[in-house]
Amino acid sequence: MPLRIPNQLPAIDILKRENIFVMDDLRAHAQDIRPLRIAILNLMPLKITTETDLIRLLSNTPLQLDISFMKLKSHTPKNTPIEHMMMFYRDFESMRDQRFDGMIITGAPVEQLSYEQVSYWPEVSEIIMWARTHVTSTLYLCWAAQAGLYLHYGIRKYPLKEKMFGVFPQRKNVPQLPIFRGFDDVFYMPHSRHSEVRREDILAHPELTIISESEASGVGMVMARGGREFYITGHPEYAPDTLDKEYRRDRDIRDDVRIPVNYYPNDDPSLTPQVQWRAHANLLYSNWINYYVYQETPYNIDEIE
């Protein structure tokens, strides 16, 4: 995909080494088309890793995208150089008067706190509400999915006795939806979370549709407003080694860390993880861009309501 992203973003070199086509800002500006404007609110602690994961998936479509990274004024990341944030991210305040064809709001390592205990909750709440009137379609991932469901519909989250950690099979409840175009009957999704939203709470809201779920990991994807909002409780964007890094990080800190489910061959962490979700993750993002962003957004972006 021709992506309009800042010329020196680290993801460019990483993805070029993977033989993934990425068009930088200078070349993209030479094409006489209106790119789809995509905002990414990156709340994950390892910003550069998440940037690369998302751009890798967004690159799987011929449509030109103009990517803008959003940051919070009320929170300073601890694991990303401040120079990187200043060079590639913009505060919400500087973007609030703009409109975007699509938006992605990532997970955050705060799910064991109540929403009101999160220091940046007021600003995130404002952004979630803003997206309804300034974005054609929004993807909410992991904690952001829980936060969006809570803010818009009052759906609470529940702590889990054990971390939902691994790669879990999902079934499609509404297989005819365009978001599932090309999907197999069963697809897999990584999860890494300490809390959940419950099926019965969502079913109490007729305006919400559970479009995928799992006997093992529960609610997988929820759709609202005809596809203007997707709430995804897992991490389809994860790279092959992300769960491995999380497992080894936590194992070095605690002695009660479980091996991620359905991830290592024979549950042996010395073996290379088995990737079962990459093809469907690419389909998910390309279908979202095509059917719920490109085909739904107005040509005049200021007409988004």
Residue position matching structure tokens 């995909």: 1
Quick one: tokens of 28? 């993209």
235 is catalytic: yes
- Report the distance separating Cα 206 and Cα 225, nearest Å: 11
As a 3-state breakdown, the chain gives helix, strand, coil percent values, each rounded to 5, of: 35, 25, 40
Of 134, 152, 191, 235, which is the active-site residue?
235
142 is catalytic: yes
- Report the distance separating Cα 174 and Cα 164, nearest Å: 24
- Beta-carbon neighbour count of residue 149 at 10 Å? 25
Of 51, 213, 229, 237, which is the active-site residue?
237
**Contact, 285 vs 58, CB < 8 A?**
yes
- Rounded (10°) CA dihedral 179, 240, 214, 113: -100
- Report the distance separating Cα 13 and Cα 287, nearest Å: 26
Kindly tell me the burial class for residue 244, based on how many C-beta atoms sit within 10 Å of its own C-beta (0-12, 13-18, 19 or more): middle
- Report the distance separating Cα 257 and Cα 7, nearest Å: 40
Helix axis angle for 47-58 and 278-287, nearest 10°, is: 70
Residue position matching structure tokens 């509404």: 174
Of 111, 123, 134, 142, which is the active-site residue?
142
Quick one: tokens of 151? 């803010």
Closest CA to 261 of 249, 273, 251, 250: 273
Which amino acids are annotated catalytic?
142, 235, 237
